[in-house]
Structure 1
Amino acid sequence: MMLSPSTGSENLEDDLWHDELATIPPRSRLFHLEPVGVGTPLVESLTSYFIRLADAHSVAPVNLIREVLPLFKDGKFQHVTYKAPTEVFNLSTWALNGTSSRAIELVNSLQTLTARQDLRALTLLPLAGILNTSRDCLFHKYRRWCPFCYEDWRVASKTIYEPLLWSIKHTDVCLKHKKQLQDRCPHCMKATQPLMGYSRPGCCAKCQNWLGIALESHSCDDEVDTSNTLLWSLYVAATLGEAIANASYEPSLFCRKIVVSAISTYIENLSEGNMSRFCRLVDLPDRALREALTDGTPPMLQKLLKICHKLNIGLVDFLTAKSVSTNNLLSFQPAPKKLEEQLKRSIGKRVDKEELQLILEAAVEENPPPLITEVVNRTHYIASTVRNYFPELYESIKNRSGQWVDKPRIERIIAEALEENPPPPLTTVAERTGFCVQTVRKYFSKECHRIIERVNQSRDERIQAALIAAADENPPPALAEVARRLGYSGSSSYIRRVAPDACKIIIEHYNAHRNHLARLRIEHHIAEVKEVIERLSLLGKPFTKYTVKVNLQNPHIIRKKYIQEMLRDVLQ
């Protein structure tokens, strides 16, 4: 149909042609991925965001790091092409969630690449004003997680991520499940850094296995030991989560001046301006707050949390000083009575010389003579005060307690200890005698040596029996796990010396078990990929790496080397 020049063509030109150019919004180099939980207590950590960003691009963090490093201002990494994050940041990737210069540069680089402006909230940079970063270690060295949160999120099809709260050193439990946070993979028993070359959301960076566990199938072995520990851990997690959430909305609240002003306000209202008395009430040494009031340096985070806990308020309420009122003063609980009794020994207390002399003279006449520490406890003064006022009586009691040793009684106690099975350690035997270890060893060196030999022999026998039993377990445990059961969490070198043959058998069984699981996993992955290819062929759809990936139950296996080789052969 032809448009007439007088009507249709003019209208068409008016509708489609404009002199102004269309405005195109700026484009980002990487996906504009939204972080999880900004402005909430469970805000995502920066290392978790980096892992999710790499996963969104179907690459490993070791590949994504090549895009980020050239933007660092110091120019140190301009020519770095292929390095793991742990190598780049000297095995300190936990510091990327803090207030270090590397954290600032990583935030700026990721904001440039993703065109986002809220990534600063994924670190402790908003709280930098109240943190004593020069003296306080804020983060755990290894990655930590709640396996029950992972499993809940997976079942509900929610985003798998790691909250910033989990990485902070002073938080040990999950707020939701009230369970201890884990730091070792239940499959390979290894701990990993928060950001590694092949980290994946919710999976171990070493063995790539899923870290989630259903709460119903969990035993109660890993729960927090005591209720007091649980209450303290929950308080720390709750108050830190509240501070992290408020830092996104009220950044001006978290500065050094506010901290110093809040401390001064509470000292003035609760102890009439007496800093020493306030420190005694909150069970802290004077030096913990002296620097804050003189130099303006914030106290360490653990000290600040302890003050807030003693005052029964949160960190945000402490900074705003909203809780300084008559009601809160009435509900404020001072230090325990035991601590108050210890404080009676302070140097500032007026010394009653006559009473002190009577106690010391009576102790000199006692038979058997008491220990000098026991006499000092009777006086309710510190040892230096007693020694300064009555040095002769002090030395006399000290010498008598050292000279008078009931050797037959001590020898009988040692003989009874040698007959016990298992034998008690030497410190326990010394406590039974009423003397210190040095005194017992001075008079009974041979017997003490026999006790030490028996204790070492009993310990070695216990280790050998545990290793033999572990060698027969199915599935076989790792040697590091057996060492942790025996109390050697730092290293397994000692148990290797005690029972080298049993350790060798455990290592062989564990490696064989891991190799068997790896073969089964590879066979399962290959079978799953073959099933997807056959299904696409039956439907008449062309298959590529992308079409195969989106139809896999676990899309991440497409990056496996053996899967890549199989797809390459099929496509050719």
Structure 2
Amino acid sequence: MYEHLFITPRSVLYNIEPIGTGSEFVESLTSYLARVAFEHNTSVGHLVNKLLIPSMDKDYLHRSRDFGGNRFYEGAKTINGYMENSLSVVKAIEKLTVRDDIHKLTLIRWKNVFPLRELLKKSLAWCPFCIKEWKENNKTVYYPLIWSIDLVHMCHIHSCFLINKCPTCFKQQDILRRQSLVGICQHCLRQLDDGATKEKYGQENKDWQGFVIDNVCSLLNYDGKINTGENSLLVKNLNLICEKVFDGSINEFSKQLNFARSSVVGWIKGKVKPTLENQLYICQRLNIEIEQLLLTTNIQNFHIVKQRKRIINTSSKPKRVDYYIVEKELEKVIQNKENISMEAAAKKVGINKRTLYRKFRHLCVQISNHYKQYLEERKLQRILCLKIQVEATFTNLYMQGIYPSRRKIEFVMNKPGVLKERELQSHWKGLLGKQGLLFERNLGECEDIGDEFQ
């Protein structure tokens, strides 16, 4: 009677369906995580600590969870990509939700097609008008995967800039946080679509963005097989382009398309892959679609067209650096005894911290050591102030005939858990010992009661 009965396996988390799978507006994995946490009436942090990390075989995440840290959230910008971090999260979520389509919320399928460099944004970006429309139509608010791709700066539906700062507090939003809520600012908790205004695109910018978005959408829609490796269609087609358009001359290839010759050689030999931006630029100059470059066995009707201006992230352009001025700025930090970390010092002079250590290691070590000493002094000062407060609170309770238990002192000081710190706990026990209270009651009781004593 029941031989054809199929029982769906029980899932740990709700079997929530991702939004837009199989379309260019497919949901991102980080957005899905935030929505799943919300549907369970819990925070992203609780979901990650209690369920996700235990399902992932990552020692560094277990240590971060047990001893405190942001390792998972600092690496969240790659969750929507294809690195090992992304693969681990996908497997864990698929296991917990008993779904087999979570990998579609990432770029895992394109792992060997695009290098990770300049592929994903480092902070959240969104279209406020999309969010507003979804709310007005009672649809679920989410962050599409296409918004996390670094090259995409425009919403092709509303022809407006994607924004990356809260319109209320003007702060950037991390890709994922412990308290992330979709559509809500992580800092001021206001709606991310509040008071949004459209900024007009220049025509050249709009043309390039339109080309980028059309091609990225076609890739996100693509559901066929992808050939990768040194003999991939990308490598074959780049060689075909070099042969047919540039008469087999790598020099002409690099000159006409304004690429470094060494880069073109690496692409044609299949040793390295051009970034997504470079692939799209090649397609634009040859008047072809990216699907033809990556997925077609024989490109036809391609020809080089007049160079069109492309909008490149200016932050990626190399800057000429005057290291003499940089050295003087670092020396000034030391002379003024500024209490800043090397991270802050690097931002102040506008140079990467690694570069500073390579060029001016002796100065960097001095700044770092001074900052460590400053933190140590602050820690000692803090402990001293807290000891004075503990002692004053202890004496006040004792004089009122109230047993100065740990919880009672923390309650009066309005500092929950402060006596869990080893130095302060020792100080509290020392005060109990001076008053002859340490052995008057069991220490376990001392921590839990706050009643009057005789």
Q: TM-score range by the shorter chain?
A: 0.5 to 0.7
How far did 1:126 drift? 0.8
* RMSD, matched Cα: 2.6
1:25: how far off?
2.1
How does the TM-score come out when normalised to structure 1? 0.50
Amino acid at match of 2:22: G
* 1:71 maps to amino acid: S
Contact 2:18–2:32 under 8 Å retained in 1 = yes
2:259 is aligned to 284
Distance 1:96 1:73 in 2: 16
Counterpart of 1:181 in structure 2 is: 162
Task: Return the alpha-carbon distance in structure 2 between the equivalents of residues 63 and 83 of structure 1.
Answer: 15
Conserved 8 A contact 2:73-2:177: no
Q: Which residue of 2 aligns with 1:228?
A: 204
Residue identity matched to 2:200: E
**How far apart are the structure 1 equivalents of 2:2 and 2:228?**
51
Matched residues in 2 for 1:203 and 1:186: separation?
11
What letter corresponds to residue 272 of structure 1 in structure 2? D
The question of whether the paired residues in 1 share the 8 Å contact of 2:280 and 2:290 is answered with yes
Equivalent residue, structure 2, for 1:60 = 43
How far is 1:273 from its partner?
1.8
Which of the two has higher C-alpha Rg?
A: 1
Q: Give a deviation string over 1:404-458, Cα, whole Å, max 9, x none.
A: xxxxxxxxxxxxxxxxxxxxxxxxxxxxxxxxxxxxxxxxxxxxxxxxxxxxxxx
Q: CA deviation at 1:61?
A: 0.4
1:324 to partner: Cα distance: 3.3
Structure 1 position 72 matched with structure 2 position 56: yes
- CA contact 2:283–2:293 (8 Å) conserved in 1: yes
Which of residues 299, 303, 322 in structure 1 aligns to 2:274?
299
Alpha-carbon distance in 2 for matches of 1:124, 1:205: 25
Partner residue in 2 for 1:123: 106
Q: Given the superposition, is the C-alpha separation of residues 322 and 155 from structure 1 closer, same or farther in structure 2, using an over 3 Å criterion?
A: farther
Write out aligned runs for 1:123-272 (5 A). 123-133=106-116, 136-213=117-194, 219-220=197-198, 222-224=199-201, 226-246=202-222, 249-253=223-227, 257-272=232-247
Q: Residues 351-390 of structure 1: matches in 2 within 5 Å? A: none
Structure 2 residue 23 is the aligned partner of structure 1 residue 40: yes
Equivalent residue letter for 2:248: G
Return the alpha-carbon distance in structure 1 between the equivalents of residues 20 and 142 of structure 2.
10
- Residues 21, 301 of structure 1: alpha-carbon distance in 2 compared, 3 angstrom cutoff: closer
Is residue 269–residue 324 contact of structure 1 (8 Å, CA) maintained in 2?
A: no
For CA contacts below 8 A with separation 6 or more, give which structure has more relative contact order. Answer: 2
Work out the CA distance in 2 between the residues paired with 1:323 and 1:152.
Answer: 42
Unaligned runs of 5+ in 1: 1-17, 337-489, 492-572
Q: CA deviation at 1:187?
A: 1.3
1:361 maps to which residue?
Answer: none
1:92/1:77 CA distance change after superposition, 3 Å: closer
Residues 195 and 227 (structure 1 numbering): CA distance in 2 closer, same or farther, change over 3 Å?
A: same
Quick one: structure 1 residues 126 and 25, their matched pair in 2 at CA, closer, same or farther if it must change by over 3 Å?
Answer: same
Change (3 A) 1:334 1:255: farther
Aligned 8 A contact 2:118 2:275 in 1: no
1:537-552 alignment runs, 5 A limit? none
| C-alpha deviation, 1:263, in angstroms | 0.7
Q: CA deviation at 1:81?
A: 5.5
Equivalent residue pairs, number:
309
CA distance in 1, matches of 2:61, 2:260: 45
- Out of 333, 341, 344, the residue aligned to residue 305 of structure 2 is 333
Q: For each residue in 1:119-168, what CA deviation from the matched residue of structure 2 results, as whole angstroms up to 9, or x when unmatched?
A: 111111111111123xx132221111000000011111112110111111
CA distance in 2, matches of 1:176, 1:20: 50
Cα distance in 1 between the residues matched to 2:37 and 2:175? 14
d(CA) in 2 for partners of 1:241, 1:268? 29
TM-score by length of 2: 0.63
The answer to whether the 8 Å contact 2:233/2:293 transfers is no
Q: What CA distance in whole angstroms lies between the structure 1 residues aligned with 2:191 and 2:54?
A: 33
C-alpha deviation, 1:321, in angstroms:
4.2
Contact 1:178/1:234 (CA < 8 Å) preserved in 2? no
Secondary structure of 1:97's counterpart equals coil
Q: Which residue of 2 aligns with 1:96?
A: 79
**Structure 1 residue 78: Cα displacement:** 4.2
Percent same amino acid among aligned pairs? 25
1:262 shift after superposition: 1.5
Structure 2's unaligned 5+ residue stretches are 309-346, 349-454
Could you tell which deviates more after superposition, 70-79 or 107-116? 70-79
- Aligned residues of 2:292 and 2:299 also touching (Cα < 8 A): no
Q: CA deviation at 1:219?
A: 4.4
| Amino acid paired to 1:36 | I
